[in-house]
Chain A
Amino acid sequence: MVQTTPLWEVFIRPRNGLSHKHVGSIHAADEVLALQAARDVYTRRGEGNSIWVVRSADIHASDPDQAAENFEPTADKIYRHPTFYDIPEEVGHM
């Protein structure tokens, strides 16, 4: 059987102070080659100063069919938001 080259997800930190952000993926045999390939493919014009690579197979994602039950509650719990509470203008900015 021909072995296939694994897929890696690539995350780049554009500059210090920002978090790493997903930019795409890359095929590579191991993490050393994945980092090299990610540098060549995703940082040719100063896009960042740090790279993370993660095996795509190691990522666990939420089920899109459960999006409603997972994320819907935020829409009907409006009392979680500051604008739900009326504060008189005299009190000033709060």
Chain B
Amino acid sequence: MYSQGLIGADGRTTESEEFLARFQARIDAEEKIEPTDAMPEGYRRTLVRQIGQHAHSEIVGMLPEGNWITRAPSLRRKAALLAKVQDEGGHGLYLYCAAETLGVSREEMTEELLTGKAKYSSIFNYPTLSWADIGIIGWLVDGAAIMNQIPLCRCSYGPYARAMIRVCKEESFHQRQGYELCMSLAFGTPEQKAMVQDALNRWWWPSIMMFGPHDADSQHSDQSMAWKIKRFSNDELRQKFIDATVPQAEYLGLTLPDPDLKWNEEKGGYDHGPIDWSEFWRVVKGQGPMARDRIKARKKAWDEGAWVREAALAHAEKRRARKMAAE
């Protein structure tokens, strides 16, 4: 899970016109770029940042859901949630590996996350207050991520595209288990229905903000589109997501918390009310209710795991030396 909204991409690049034109011709011919190929520095930098943010988002995304594993109401739900959280960890690892092919090390990326230098999707800076949040996250947050990630499977950078194919295969389970969970609450007791409506009210706006700023305000999109790192604009994907989600909410008998949401016959899609971008930027900059907790939890895991990493390396070294001596 994660979405668009690459924060602070910097596609500036200083290569010769001729080099850039040759590279662009390869992109335009839909050739995939592989790790050892020559590429503009701006292309490499944009990808390192985007794949890094994406990987961090998967890893931090384990925290809001992990919060509910011990309190899942049945073994079936617990098994599903454990599997989903494990998948998110796996997605983070596929993506870190894709970023490492661009010459950045895992240690550097981890350090950037822990010092707050690297960003991750702001959606994970909201708290998961009730069990219904787990259903809503699967349905909306993973749903929004799928909208964004399917086009990333055709990204011009080979290792990123291949990682995304694996991720997308697994995301579908995430969204479906979330929607099914929402169904069980929406069709349950009045209290359960109120609980899932409350969760929807809190997550709807953050979810549609996951697609990032409006196209007119998205400074770095054009270069990413030209390089085919990105295939659709933020607003196009947001529109697709809203159009897909409205009937799903209707089926559940739930109300999306936007009074201006209405069908626009002319464009064949829904119009939505204004988005509070000041909140989006506040949360991106680390002022979300949970921002400090998230990084604290990652730091704790990293610091307390240090002895395990060291012991594993020491053990490997000892085994290697013993084997050498025997030979």
Contact = CB atoms under 8 A, between A and B. Distances in A.
B100 A44 contact: no
B316 A64 contact: no
B97 A26 contact: yes
A27 B94 contact: no
Interface string A18-57: 0000011111111001000000110011000000000000
Interface in B6-36: 34, 36
Contact of B313 (A24, A26, A29): A29
B312 A30 contact: yes
Interface in B31-63: 34, 36-38
A33 B312 contact: yes
A44 B86 contact: yes
Contact of B315 (A4, A25, A30, A44): A30
A29 B90 contact: no
Contacts of A44: 83, 86-87, 90, 170
A83 interface: no
Contacts of A40: 86, 90
B313 A3 contact: yes
B240 interface: no
A7 B86 CA distance: 21
Contacts of A74: none
B309 A25 contact: no
B248 interface: no
A61 interface: yes
A64 B36 contact: yes
B93 interface: yes
A4 B83 CA distance: 29
A71 to B, nearest CB: 14
B106 interface: yes
Contacts of A41: 90, 93-94
A5 interface: yes
A5 B313 contact: yes
B163 A5 contact: no
A61 B97 contact: no
Nearest to A3: B313
B255 interface: no
Nearest to B310: A3
A44 to B, nearest CB: 7
A4 B105 contact: yes
B319 interface: yes
B309 A5 contact: yes
B107 interface: yes
A44 B84 CA distance: 11
8 A-B pairs with the lowest CB-CB distances in the bound complex, closest first: A29-B312, A30-B316, A29-B316, A25-B97, A64-B36, A29-B313, A41-B90, A3-B313
Interface of A: 3-5, 7, 23-30, 33, 40-41, 44-45, 61, 63-64
26 contacts: A3-B313, A4-B107, A5-B309, A7-B100, A23-B166, A24-B166, A25-B100, A26-B93, A27-B106, A29-B309, A29-B312, A29-B313, A29-B315, A29-B316, A30-B315, A30-B319, A33-B312, A33-B316, A40-B86, A40-B90, A41-B93, A44-B90, A45-B170, A61-B36, A63-B36, A64-B37
